[in-house]
Amino acid sequence: MVQDLLSRLGMQLPKEFALILPQVQLGIFALGILLTDFLLDRKSRWWNAVLALAGVGFSGKALWNLRNLEDVSAYHSSIVVDPFAVFFGFLFLISAALVILLSVRYLEIEDEHHGEFYALLLLATIGMMFLATGSDLITLFLGLETMALSFYVLTGFLRHRKASNEGALKYVLLGAFSSGILAYGFSLMYGIGGSTNLARIAQAYAERSPGDPLVLISLVTVSAGVFFKIAAVPFHMWAPDVYEGAPTSITASISVASKAASFALLLRIFCTAFWPIRPNWEMVVAGVAVASMTIGNFGAITQSNLKRLLAYSSIGHVGYMLLGLVAGTPDGFKGIAFYLLVYVFMNTGAFAIVILLRREGVIGEDIEDLNGLISRRPVAAILLLIFMLSLAGIPPTAGFIGKYFIFLSLIETGHYVLAVFAALYIAPALYYYFRVVVHAWMREPGGAARPTISVAQGVALAACTLFILVAGLLPDRFINFAGTTLQSQFLQMILR
């Protein structure tokens, strides 16, 4: 859109511009929404959502034009557009679209329907896309902070709810702390590498001895920062509080998109700069993965708040995905990519059901609020069952395929102990996911009213369900799509 307009005006843009066009489109729409919001009255605020969706659409179109590129770097190699970046870009845009669809009704009920919400969501998405395309420490840091700052504000968006204030405050304090630690690590990486470019830093790390104190401090600080962002144990304490306090549609976004973006950052750094010192971190990452699965899956058992329960379960999922990095094989990386793709749909779907329970005067986040959903709104109960099956990793849902690749990569590399751990933790996961289903299917409804489903919510729910079932039954296309990430140069370098 932007390019057409400018070329019609006779302006010639540098070729590199097309590479960041997806982000630019989102930025234009985000700024536009901030201004058009003043023209809209209370009743027509949903136009903001339409504009935001249009922005996501145009951005997706621009990204689609980049899909066949192989590793083009630009802007003094501060960004690189490769299949990895394109895959993650689509993931963030899908997530943003789903969250926008789910937000309209929810924000009206909360009486906080403002244009800023959509503008901040688009800005966060810009940050995520730069996280996936960045090949330079400065780009990565800025992308991360653009995303994080937007989410701090979005978490506290329900200004009159104390839980929202408190969640936002904890998020901003702990988030800024972890960003600071990460930045300290980045500054050391710059000192060691003599450049902010990741490829050059990787060369410098390969030449240094692995026991070098500067190398070790940079490894420790950067991993602490990144583990915080993906909410891996022992840096997970913020997740349940923030997930509970944030508006539910933002919780979906934080647990899905922000996590995927942070995984993109983690893979970019660990598979380039830190790959030469792999023996130093392999066991640590494996330990973090097992600890995350343990705390996540056992922590979820005792939760009675649905958002907290899903927060702990997401900590467990992070553990599974980290195991793919420990294996470090093509199947492992493909598994992480596929897992994240499926996770977008199944976790957003699960939060969508929680959003349905929110009505005037009913918070609807407690597990008891699900009681008798099958008789009140059968469709919602059936969809809930599908999402829970997928989260637990039961065939024929897509969640099973994701876990399958992780197991496969572990067995290929001889990590049998880890594979056994990962398999055992499915038992507690089954227990708490089915506890949710039991409440919806077997308990008496009491006096609770029928939840209604708006058109936008219906579209989002249908998309989530359709994807989980199609990708579960006919996974080939989607596995290939996730597999394209492997063609990126930085992964080719280490897999060769």
Partner 1 sequence: MTGLHSHRYYTSATMSPGYLGNYAPLLIHILVAMALAGVLLSLSALVGPHRPSREKAQAYECGMRPTGDARHPFDVKFYLVAILFILFDVEAIFFYPWAYVYRNLPRLFGFYEMLLYIGILLVGYIYLLKKGALDWNK
Partner 2 sequence: MIPTSHYLVVSLLLFTTGVIGVLTRRNVIIVLMSIELILNAVNINLVAFSQHLASLDGQIFAIFVITDAAAEAAVGLGIIIAFFRNRQTLLADEMDLLRW
Other Cβ atoms closer than 10 A to 435: 17
**Nearer CB in complex with partner 1: 31/214:** 31
Q: Nearer Cβ to partner 1, position 35 or 283?
A: 35
Question: What's the closest the beta carbon of residue 410 comes to partner 1, in angstroms?
Answer: 38
Closest by Cα among 232, 240, 229, 254 to 343: 254
Q: Which is nearer to partner 1, 14 or 213 (CB)?
A: 14
Q: Can residue 203 be called a binding residue for partner 2 (CB under 8 A)?
A: no
Q: Which does 35 bind (CB under 5 to 8 A by kind): partner 1, partner 2, none?
A: partner 1
C-beta of 25 vs 347, nearer to partner 1: 25
Q: Could you tell me if 97 and 152 are in contact, meaning their C-beta atoms sit under 8 angstroms apart?
A: no
* Farthest-apart Cα atoms in the chain, separation: 69
425-444 binders of partner 2 (CB under 8 A): none
CA dist 43 → 39, 40, 47 (Å):
12, 8, 10
In the range 208-247, which residues lie near partner 2 by CB under 8 A? 237, 240-241, 244-245
How far CA 250 is from CA of 99, 100, 171, 277, 323, in Å, comes to 7, 9, 13, 37, 27
CB nearer partner 2, residue 41 or residue 207: 207
Is 365 near partner 2 (CB under 8 A)? Answer: no
Q: Toward partner 2, which CB reaches closer, 161 or 359?
A: 161
| x/- letters, 89..128, toward partner 2 (CB under 8 A) | ----------------------------------------
Task: Report the C-alpha gap between 104 and 114 in whole angstroms.
Answer: 10
Q: Is residue 47 classed exposed, middle or buried when 0-12, 13-18 and 19+ CB atoms within 10 A define those classes? A: middle
Alpha carbon separation from 247 to 118, 243, 253, 414 (Å, rounded):
13, 8, 10, 43
Give least dist CB 217 to partner 2, A. 9
Task: Provide the binding-site residues for partner 1, judged by CB under 8 A.
Answer: 31, 34-35, 38, 76-78, 136, 138, 196-197
Token readout for 455 is: 């058109």
Amino acid letter, 107? L
Helix (H) or strand (E) holding 4: helix 2-8
Cis peptide bond prior to 234, omega within 30° of 0: yes
| Shortest Å, Cβ 314 to partner 1 | 33
Residue 181 partner contact from partner 2, partner 1, none using kind-dependent CB cut-offs of 5 to 8 Å: partner 2
72 forms bridges with which residues in the sheet? 81
Q: Does 187 bind partner 2 (CB under 8 A)?
A: yes
Is 91:341 a contact under the CB 8 Å cutoff? yes
Rank residues 6 and 363 by Cβ distance to partner 2 and give the closer one: 363
CB of 174 to partner 2, least distance (A): 9
Question: Can you tell me which of 47, 75, 177, 298 binds partner 2, judged by CB under 8 A?
Answer: 177
